[in-house]
Chain A
Amino acid sequence: MNHLGYLFAANLFVWGAIFFYVFTLIKKNNQLKQDLQLIKETLPKDSES
């Protein structure tokens, strides 16, 4: 039980990597939603139906 510092560091690193990945996913999804919205707005009204 003398190496809890290493355990904490490993935990911090892996949780950090997971959260970073999740944040990039959120960012990518938001970008996709914005792009979809833009396409919707640029399409002529009659082609929506």
Chain B
Amino acid sequence: MREYFNHVKAIVWKDCVTELKTWELFSTMFVFALLVIIIFIFSINLSIVNSYDVGPGILWVAFIFAGTIGLNRSFMLEKENGCLQGLMLTPADRTALYFGKMISNMVFLILMEAMILPLFMIFFNVDLVSHLGPLLIVIFLGTLGFCALGTLLSSLSSHLKTREIMLPILLYPLLVPVVIGCVRMTGEILAGKALATQLKWIGSTACFDIIYIGVSLLTIDHILEE
């Protein structure tokens, strides 16, 4: 078991070192998320619309659209120069490769979200500080589901010629239940309700996270074999 965790850790470390050298993925995701928020600010008149009503949806749209860019690059980088073939030749289990990629995607996405949240708070004049704890739990649940499913579909679409188009087409319909749950929970938290009143949504989001991870573990072996 320790060896398995070491394999996962090695893949995460490799991805982090690669990213630290270029900052290519993080900067692209951050700028894209920022642009999405700015576009919404200009398109919505916040003196008429309550920012607590529209804010959660815009925040999650920014997270997910920016995250998709990161997912697209995740396996494409490995395909270049046959790096994925090299990873497959290592004695590491294929699921370790999946978990390594998923965790590294999560790290980059959480970093980007941590940078976007203060800007969202400023632009939308929303108080996030007093609800930070519950909000972080919701963001973690949403990011886990997004990365669990996104990593699987990214590995699947990396074999296809139209990978950049196929990933969002496959990802977004399957991600809708998690997004609905996260947007609802974020809205309720910003409205001042306790997270304990959102157990239904927490349960459904956590269930979908587990389903995504379970399906990925069942299928990743065959998908990477292709």
Tell whether A and B belong to one assembly. yes
Q: Report A's interface with B, CB cutoff 8 A.
A: 7, 10-11, 13-15, 17-19, 21-22, 25-26, 28-29
Q: CB distance A10 to B222 under 8 Å?
A: no
17 A–B pairs (Cβ distance < 8 Å), ordered by A? A7-B173, A7-B176, A7-B177, A11-B173, A13-B173, A18-B153, A18-B219, A19-B219, A21-B156, A22-B219, A22-B222, A22-B223, A25-B222, A25-B223, A26-B222, A29-B225, A29-B226
Q: CB distance A15 to B174 under 8 Å?
A: yes
Residues of A within 8 A of B170 (CB): 14, 17-18
Residues of B55-91 at the interface with A, using a CB-CB cut-off of 8 Å, are none
Q: Total number of A-B contacts with CB less than 8 angstroms?
A: 33
Question: In the bound complex, what is the Cα–Cα distance between A17 and B219 (angstroms)?
Answer: 13
Question: In the bound complex, what is the Cα–Cα distance between A21 and B155 (angstroms)?
Answer: 13
User: In this complex, what residue of A is CB-closest to B159?
Assistant: A25
Question: In the bound complex, what is the Cα–Cα distance between A21 and B225 (angstroms)?
Answer: 13
Residues of A within 8 A of B174 (CB): 11, 14-15
How many chain B residues touch the partner (CB < 8 A)? 12
Residues of B within 8 A of A26 (CB): 222
Q: CB distance A18 to B156 under 8 Å?
A: yes
Residues of A within 8 A of B222 (CB): 22, 25-26, 29
Q: Report B201 CB to chain A, min CB distance, Å.
A: 12
Residues of A within 8 A of B176 (CB): 7, 10-11
User: In this complex, what residue of A is CB-closest to B220?
Assistant: A22
Residues of B201-226 at the interface with A, using a CB-CB cut-off of 8 Å, are 219, 222-223, 225-226
Question: In the bound complex, what is the Cα–Cα distance between A29 and B177 (angstroms)?
Answer: 33
Residues of B within 8 A of A21 (CB): 156
Residues of B within 8 A of A13 (CB): 173
Residues of A within 8 A of B225 (CB): 25, 29
Residues of B135-174 at the interface with A, using a CB-CB cut-off of 8 Å, are 153, 156, 170, 173-174
